Amino acid sequence: MTNKSLKFNSKTIHGGQELEKAYGAVMPPIYQTSTFAQESPGEHKGYAYARSANPTRTALEKAMASIENGNYGLAFGSGLAAIDAIIKLLSPGDEVISNNDLYGGSYRLFKQVFEKYGIVFRFIDMHNAVSIEPYITNKTKLIWLETPTNPMLNIIDIKAITKIAENHEVLVAVDNTFASPYLQRPLDLGADIVMHSATKYLGGHSDTVLGGIIVRDKALADKLYFIQNASGAICGPMDSFLVLRGIKTLHVRMQRHCENGRTIAEFLNHHSKVEKVFWPGFTNHPNHEIAKSQMKDFGAMLSFLPKGADYKKAIAIIKKLSLFMLAESLGGVESLVGHPASMSHGGMTKKEREKVGIKDALIRISVGIEDVQDLIEDLENALR
Ligand SMILES: *Cc1c(COP(=O)(O)O)cnc(C)c1O
């Protein structure tokens, strides 16, 4: 049986992996080396200098490619370094269409770093895929999207967007951090590029910052590899190892994340002190039907508005939580709580935030895999 024909729950463990030749180590060693001896100039065993390639990083890159059903994987020092490499495919004057409620760090990178170099970003509401059409010009080179979005959990129809993009020969890149390939595989839905903050679900243990890109097309992979090597924003072997280890339990963790996510979403939705819960599993959530068709389940990320709360009250609730730790990030085994207006989306102005529904009282939670009754008790306590 080739690795390619394995089912997802086996690919997480074996996908793209080869047995280590020296001693048969079941996990690839952490090749903590900057360089590799050569027999004569240019004659080596496939590795010459560790920015260009490192065997531990290669093992991770192959694992990431496998679980996203891609052909090529590239690992970076962070999710943002991966996004940075993708935008470097473009030239001054090129245009990017992006959804308007994306991760705050991506927005900051686009607006405050790349606009300076003459790349034009148009941020639009993508609830309805056809609404991107009027924004496509002959300069549009990339459609950037995130689904479910952060923190409003909006759902974008990946298949419909890629169909439109194909007609105009525009690349589509999907930030698949929130869903993880367990829930959704954008390349299968027609996307050209998948990007991950592996810091989140892929790593899964809140112990590493790392980013990934997965593609199918060789020419595109070559261009991205050139940028990775030329710009140098690679991850180290230890971090590669940790994310590779994380991926091996992705399917088991995600299954429990989803179960707990559903239980918490329903608990909050029925709570008298809660005004609204944003979670794509609710039948009245915008584009719920699309979520149902492109995702395996609805995930463990959700946001909610406490009844009658303002900035101060929201902070008071967050401070009363004890099991849910107040911290940036998401996707780890432990439950985390965040306040988008002051934390992840603090880089946006209040006006920009309100335009996309991020109210000052909005609380975002990343439901972990603890016993769900303990999590409910913690929330009940804080809301009361
Ligand atoms: C965290 C995150 C990023 C950035 O990744 P880093 O690893 O922190 O650089 C990008 N997109 C999404 C959706 C994220 O949650």
Classify burial at 64, counting beta carbons within 10 Å of its beta carbon; exposed 0-12, middle 13-18, buried 19 or more.
buried
Q: Which of 200, 202, 205, 366 to mutate to test the pocket of ligand 1 (most atoms within 8 A of CB)?
A: 200
Lowest mean pLDDT among 63-77, 80-94, 157-171, 349-363: 349-363
What's the pLDDT score for residue 48? Answer: 95
Q: How far is the CA of 316 from the centre of ligand 1 (A)?
A: 26
**For residue 182, how far is its CA from the centre of ligand 1 (angstroms)?**
18
The DSSP H or E segment spanning 300 is none
* Higher-confidence position of 136 and 347: 136
Nearest CA to ligand 1 atom 5: 79
CA 156, CA 189: separation in Å to the nearest integer?
A: 12
For the CA of 80, the nearest atom of ligand 1: 9
9: confidence class by pLDDT, cuts 50, 70, 90: very high
Distance 1 CA to ligand 1 centre (A): 35
Residue 1 predicted with pLDDT over 60: no
Give the model confidence (pLDDT) of 267-299 as tens digits: 999 999 999 999 999 999 999 999 999 999 999
- Cβ(114)–Cβ(141) under 8 Å? no
Residue nearest to atom 8 of ligand 1 (CA): 79
**Which atom of ligand 1 has the smallest separation from the CA of 81?**
9
Cα distance between residue 52 and residue 375, in whole Å: 44
pLDDT of 174 above 90: yes
Q: In this structure, which residue's CA is closest to atom 2 in ligand 1? A: 197
Domains and CATH numbers, the chain: 3-247 (3.40.640.10), 250-383 (3.90.1150.10)
Q: Ligand 1, closest atom to CA 106?
A: 10
pLDDT at res. 271:
98
Measured from the Cα of 331, ligand 1's closest atom is: 15
pLDDT band at 359 (very low <50, low <70, confident <90, very high): very high
Give yes or no for residue 44 having a pLDDT over 60.
Answer: yes
Average confidence score pLDDT of the chain:
96
With 80 as the cut, is the pLDDT of residue 24 above it?
yes
C-alpha 79 – ligand 1 centre gap (Å): 5
Q: How far apart are CA 148 and CA 163, in angstroms?
A: 19
Active-site positions?
51, 103, 175, 200
pLDDT at site 2: 54
Structure tokens at 68: 């996203």
pLDDT > 60? residue 102: yes
How many C-beta neighbours within 10 Å does residue 224 have? 23
Q: What is the pLDDT of residues 320-334, one digit of tens each?
A: 999 999 999 999 999
Could you tell which of 197, 330, 343 is best to mutate to test the pocket of ligand 1, judged by most ligand atoms within 8 Å of the CB? 197
What's the pLDDT score for residue 202?
98
Give the distance (Å) from ligand 1 centre to CA of residue 308. 31
pLDDT for res 4: 74
- Res 32 pLDDT > 90: yes
Which 3 state secondary structure label does DSSP give 234? coil
**In 88-127, alpha helices (H):** 104-108
Does the structure show a pLDDT above 90 at 349? no
CA–centroid distance, 110 to ligand 1, in Å, is 14
Give the residue whose CA is nearest to atom 7 of ligand 1: 79
Q: What is the pLDDT of residue 194?
A: 98
Instruction: Give every CB contact of residue 177 below 8 A, 6+ residues apart in sequence.
Output: 79, 103, 146, 195, 196, 197, 200, 201, 331
CA 106 to CA 352: how far, in whole Å? 14
Phi, psi for residue 275 in degrees, rounded to 5: -85, -45
Ligand 1 atom showing the smallest separation from residue 102 Cα:
13
Cβ burial 159-187 (10 Å sphere, 16+ → b, else e): ebbbebbeeeebbbbbbbbbbbbbbbbbb
Nearest CA to ligand 1 atom 1: 197
Cα dist from 296 to 22, 173, 179, 184, whole Å: 39, 20, 9, 7
Nearest ligand 1 atom to the CA of 330 is: 15
309-315 average pLDDT score: 93
Structure tokens at 44: 């080596």
- Which residue minimizes the CA distance to atom 11 of ligand 1? 103
Q: Which residues line ligand 1 (CB under 6 A)?
A: 78-80, 103, 105-106, 146, 150, 175, 177-178, 197, 199-200, 209, 211
Would you say the C-alpha torsion 46, 52, 53, 54 has a positive or negative sign? positive
121 Cβ contact partners less than 8 Å away, ≥ 6 residues apart: 95, 96, 97, 98, 110, 111, 114, 115
Q: Tell me whether strands 211-215 and 193-197 are parallel, antiparallel or unpaired.
A: antiparallel
Name the pTM for this structure: 0.96
Helix (H, G, I), strand (E, B) or coil at 354: helix
**DSSP one-letter code for 340:** T
Ligand 1 midpoint to CA 378 (Å): 27
